[in-house]
Amino acid sequence: MTPTVHSARDESIDVARAVAILGMFVIHAVLVLATAVPTQGASGFILWWCDGRAAATFVTLAGFGVARLAARHDHAEGLRVLHRRALVLWVMGVANLMIWPGDILRVYGVALLLAPWLLRLSTRARVVTSIALGIAFPLLMTVIDWTQHWQLETLTYVGVWTPAGFVRNLLYDGFRPVVPWLAFFIMGTVLAEQDLQDARLWRRLLVAGSVLTLAAVLTSGALNQLLLQHAPQFDALTREGLVGTTSLPPLPLFLVSAVGTTALLLGSVVALIPHLPRGLVEPLVATGRRALTWYLLHIVLLMTLYAAGFRHRWSPGVAITIGVAMFGWAVGWSQWRRARPGLLERFMRWAASGGDAARLAPREPHGNRRSHGP
């Protein structure tokens, strides 16, 4: 059930995961606290990079972590570990959905349930499956109205707690649906087979990331101009949904841009880590290892501010600063408590072991602990 993976610890994955958490802190702080979401200037560029693309990086790195985790166990034990973690993530995701409509943990739960089957596929088959998921989404849009249950002006989804709405929201028309977001997770399992310390790989990541990101942005701009000329009845929101690189809906141009920015981030991190001071790298590594804890805690904090009356109160610049400050606090706390896993990471390990966390201690050939995802 497991692909061939490299056993060396890749701190770059933890650092990249920490940067993805920073991106989610920033975009979520703006969505909850800012009076508007800018699309121009430095703030607009920062938010474009964070919107959906930070979450896509997070999901990709989760796939990486799950593949590495599965490689540590035999078939039977691996099934138990993945299925237990899937159940825990599913419960967390449903609870999170009660306060945060953009929950992504339910997708993780589905991904972990499918992981044993996915990891039996060849590398080529997994890449093809990822591409097929990206193509399937726009095909589904031709037969199922994606906007039917959305109030797009307020980004409100109607009917999520009905049985049909819950399934539909999870699989197709939610903020982060399984189709096509599972594609990022699958690509992460492919990434887990690579040696991230190989200089040729990070160079390829930088080149591929630059090409994909630029291609998506230029194609989006060209198609937008065509719509302006030949379909002037479409307003800006409709054009952005059809040919933009927005994550709602997650059409192929968004997927390409998100794969590109993920490759750029990971290639940059791998290239820079050997040249950065350990005093910077180690706190980021500690933060990345607590990604699940920080993901849920920052949502609880932001929604507490929302309920307390601070929603849409500050300028985008102030909201971005708040998101960065929250991340700085998370980094400081993670470094201070670096000797122990995060609260939810400990619970996840305990639940996956059936109450005996020591049984799931890493089996490392050189005694090094490895990066693992949710």
Domain spans, the chain? 11-360
Give residue for tokens 């797009």.
152
Tell me the angle at which helices 53-70 and 41-50 cross, rounded to the nearest 10 degrees: 30
Percent of the chain with pLDDT over 90: 71
- The pLDDT tens digits of the residues spanning 206-236 come to 999 999 999 999 999 999 999 999 888 888 8
Q: Sorting pLDDT into bands at 50, 70 and 90, what band is 356?
A: low
Query: Do residues 103 and 116 touch, judged by C-beta distance below 8 A?
Result: no
Say how many CA atoms lie within 13 Å of 233 toward its Cβ.
0
Q: Which residue has the higher pLDDT, 368 or 113?
A: 113
| pLDDT of 5 above 90 | no
Alpha-carbon span 165 to 127, nearest angstrom: 30
Tell me the pLDDT tens digit for each residue of 339-354: 888 888 988 888 877 6
Q: pLDDT tens digits for 316-336?
A: 999 999 999 999 999 999 999
pLDDT at 253 over 90: yes
Q: Where does the pLDDT of residue 355 fall: very low under 50, low under 70, confident under 90, or very high at 90 and above?
A: low
Per-residue b or e along 128-144, where b marks 16 or more CB atoms closer than 10 Å to that residue's CB = ebbbebbeebeebbeee
What pLDDT, on a 0 to 100 scale, did the predictor assign at position 2? 46
What was the pLDDT predicted at 366? Answer: 38
198-232 burial, b at 16+ Cβ within 10 Å, e below that, comes to: eeebbeebbeebeebbeebbebbeeebeeeeeeee
Work out the pLDDT band at 364, boundaries 50, 70, 90: very low
Query: Under DSSP, is residue 156 helix (H, G, I), strand (E, B) or coil?
Result: strand
